[in-house]
Structure 1
């Protein structure tokens, strides 16, 4: 029997029995993901032009908006147990999906490289100080290998690691903040009353930059949220998504704002945006070890959940034809991230954030429009895995999605400074009109033609989607309420 090239065991829907992450666990994962050393640079870039309070406000507002967007796309995983790439077959087609999906996978891989490089340089600093051995790339390879092995163990290993990493990172971050604040006071700068006078940037620009910072995870968060525990037969969106939205709205805005402020204060105190380097230079003995622990845990916890797993699943989706495994996808993500030389990209971080943020902001608008407005959260999940199903569209491509993405993403790049504020709404509006008044007339969608029947819902009606991996046929099995009650 001919192999179905759209199916592999790592990209079929997650069932309720496989959902192992609690709301508290997801909160810990988000704390780990939100502590990114690169965030310090964003805070430092804005502090010359505003007060610490204005800087914190810009970062906080940006991340509340992103948290809301991410919570909306996260329901794809909660409701249907789908990964980002598997769902994207609906707005882009079973063949067209590979262009945005692999693009996102490459972005996540590059971020893995950036994070690993930052961790490796910190390790090298300590080892060089203690032994005289100075070769950061050795530690890059070692650190990358350890992270790849841990992420290969699956989402449960990530969840367990976050329980240790999250509180440790927060405690050390608070300690670093007071160290940096003390240095600023010693230099005569009161961070509470400081007012920047430069005109290099604006409040709105800092906010837009921070939105672009998280544009990647805002679209592929279903890769994680499909593992979240969710109550079956719960029709209220907020109650069903409580383990999704509460961690998003609490962990991301607060932790990310705190990190940005630390970067801004570090720049005020020393002229160096990276407080880790500053504290390392004045630390000795166990204090230096504690700082090293902060760096390693921060990069590791971010890479596992935010970069390696999402990147791997995009590569698995593209490589289903050759049975590319999840573990090999993780390895491939590490190789790709290294080949892009992240140490060079870090020197141009704002430019990098701008371009990929522009492209992915349009993708987020398309996803939310397709999932909530066009399909009203219904999906013909069986056909997502059929080579001749409704998502085949025009030779495998949904041109409504592709054109919308190119158009909105292109304009977002043109208005690069405010990319998310341009790409997101434009992607949503363009996709709506092209789909509603063009593509649905050519390619009817069963979930829409059924007048949005509950037959195409998942968790809301207590349904698990079961996709076979050993044959071409696809079977849908419904989990009955009476069975669940027993």
Structure 2
């Protein structure tokens, strides 16, 4: 039961609204704050070192870049997305609240469901993609050991469903199993990835031959035509986590822990593992005469059981790590936010898993073009505007001060109009339309190429302008003084 101070010195008793609260959405207490700097570095290394990151990098080589251009594009994209990542992470570490609760401040207690579901649906697509890749890896490695299974579709589908069930088992064990898994797997993944790199270098005859391929772009204009949408795709790759990063930083021991851990972990891990993908893809040109952008296909060409076994373990741990960390925690909380009384974190995770199957991931990863310019750039146009609104609201409108009680209570500071902030909805819709209009209007195709950037900055600016003059004052709206100092996270618990 909450007892924030009331104007005049009296005490008002407020119980949290069960429509907006359950134990999974509640602010973390000091007992939950167990994640240090190493955990956030491990989080990013474990989430970066996986198949889709490798394919992200190798697709740039397949598209015509040389290795220096590809590394630069990836590093720049990750430094850009690091900015909204750390900004949105601040509220999670300060107040211990997850993304779907944090976004209530800008969109309203009911309106928050819209950005939360947008984020959740993208995560479901990623969950399906990662599960499909994990299943492909299992099937490919089985085919190396028993070649006759390569012509048996049932083996692929059984591998896919088996890996999907493994993901569901980890979800059922809860968020602490994620911290444990990432803590030991990050160094293992680094060692195994470097082993694969040096093995490919040996097969290619050294770094010289594998990194000597020139860029296929004959002019600056042709390079920039490929570079800018590729940069947007790099930003879009982590556009999902830039929204729901509070789901992880709410467990931080301190603000410094998450800032330092992320500032080091994200760009270093992504650049390092991307280089491995770039180098291995370049080596495949030397060894096989063509760029092989999928590591699963690449490994399948080496019929060596020992290598196949190590590769299988590496791919499975990598894919499991990123799938749980990046694609289950957030949508589970988002679905729980729809109806906290009925949907727990576990139930939300199960919903995520089934929707991931329904989105047919085998079609989303058909080619490197559909992956980069269709999936990544496309959904960045949906999530960029949400990130812009969140940053503008938290830092420019509220100065990082949130009324924690009202985030879990109807009729308070974040009620707006029947629980929906129409200013945020307008800014979101306009941002999304502008970001994606290039898909249907060829003359403004450049807006789609910059989808995340166009949506982020336009929605942030529009939201800020619409909110000028609107300063939600809890003392006026509720007759109470409710600030971040009145109520500690420990007080947002079960009613006494």
In which range does the TM-score fall when normalised by the shorter chain?
0.7 to 0.9
1:343 corresponds in structure 2 to 362
8 Å CA contact 1:68, 1:249 repeated in 2: no
* Superposed CA RMSD: 2.6
C-alpha displacement of 1:184: 4.8
Please list, as runs of the form range in 1=range in 2, the aligned pairs for 1:133-172 lying within 5 A after superposition. Answer: 133=149, 134=152, 135-172=155-192
2:348 corresponds in structure 1 to 329
Relative distance call for 1:229 and 1:462 in structure 2 (3 A) is farther
C-alpha displacement of 1:301: 0.6
Q: 1:457 aligns with which of 484, 487, 491?
A: 484
Length, aligned pairs only = 451
Relative distance call for 1:143 and 1:394 in structure 2 (3 A) is same
Please list, as runs of the form range in 1=range in 2, the aligned pairs for 1:234-249 lying within 5 A after superposition. Answer: 241-249=255-263
1:105 corresponds in structure 2 to 120
8 Å CA contact 2:144, 2:304 repeated in 1: no
> Helix, strand or coil: the match of 2:87?
helix
2:423 corresponds in structure 1 to 400
Q: 1:114 aligns with which of 129, 138, 150?
A: 129
1:436 corresponds in structure 2 to 468
2:296 & 2:275 partners in 1: Cα distance?
14
Unaligned ranges ≥5, structure 1: 231-240, 472-486
2:440 corresponds in structure 1 to none
1:82 & 1:318 partners in 2: Cα distance?
16
Query: TM-score w.r.t. structure 1 length?
Result: 0.86
8 Å CA contact 2:116, 2:334 repeated in 1: yes
Unaligned ranges ≥5, structure 2: 1-14, 438-446
Query: Does residue 1:54 correspond to 2:74, yes or no?
Result: no
Relative distance call for 1:69 and 1:32 in structure 2 (3 A) is same
Query: Does residue 1:207 correspond to 2:231, yes or no?
Result: yes
Please list, as runs of the form range in 1=range in 2, the aligned pairs for 1:190-339 lying within 5 A after superposition. Answer: 190-192=210-212, 194-197=214-217, 199=222, 201-230=225-254, 241-268=255-282, 269=285, 270-320=290-340, 322-339=341-358
1:142 & 1:275 partners in 2: Cα distance?
20
8 Å CA contact 2:34, 2:253 repeated in 1: yes
8 Å CA contact 1:378, 1:447 repeated in 2: no
8 Å CA contact 2:24, 2:333 repeated in 1: yes
C-alpha displacement of 1:72: 1.1
C-alpha displacement of 1:209: 1.4
Relative distance call for 1:408 and 1:337 in structure 2 (3 A) is same
8 Å CA contact 2:26, 2:492 repeated in 1: yes
2:408 corresponds in structure 1 to 385
C-alpha displacement of 1:364: 0.8
2:295 & 2:206 partners in 1: Cα distance?
16
Query: Does residue 1:42 correspond to 2:34, yes or no?
Result: no
2:384 corresponds in structure 1 to 361
Deviation >6 Å, runs of 4+: 447-450
8 Å CA contact 2:37, 2:261 repeated in 1: yes
C-alpha displacement of 1:319: 2.1
